[in-house]
Structure 1
Amino acid sequence: MQPNWDTILGPLCMPLVDRFTTLLKDIRVTSCAYYKETLLNDIRKAREKYQGDELAKELTRIKFRMDNIEVLTSDIIINLLLSYRDIQDYDAMVKLVETLKMLPTCDLADQHNIKFHYAFALNRRNSTGDREKALQVMLQVLRSCDHPAPDMFCLCGRIYKDIFLDSGCEEDASRDSAIEWYRKGFELQSSLYSGINLAVLLIVSGQQFETSMELRKIGVRLNSLLGRKGSLEKMNNYWDVGQFFTVSMLASDIGKAVQAAERLFKLKPPVWYLRSLVQNLLLIQRFKKPITEHSPRQERLNFWLDIIFEATNEVTNGLRFPVLVIEPTKIYQPAYVSINNEAEERTVSLWHVSPTEMILSASA
Structure 2
Amino acid sequence: MKRPASLASTISIDNAEGIATQPVKRRRTIGNKWTVFDPPTLPYLYLKEKTSAVVLNDSPQEIANRIVATAKGINCIGEYDDVRAQATLSVNGAEFGIQLFKVTEKTNACIIVEMHRIHGSPIIFHTVARNIIAACKNVTVTDKPRKNIRRTLDSREDNLARESELFPRSMETVTGLLQKDRVDAKLLGMESLQLLTSPRSSSDAMVSFASDVLLTADSSFMTIRMAIITIISKRYLESELEQKYHNKMRICALNALSNALDAVTSIEEDSLDNNMLSQLLTELSHAESSPHEAYLASKCLKFALAMSIPLRDRAVQMGALNTVMQSKRVGHQTNHLLGSVADDILQILEKS
Higher normalized helix content (fraction of residues): 1
Larger radius of gyration: 1
Same fold (TM over 0.5): no
Length-normalised TM-score, structure 1: 0.37
Relative contact order (C-alpha < 8 Å, sep 6+): which is higher? 2
Taking structure 2 as the reference length, the TM-score comes to 0.37
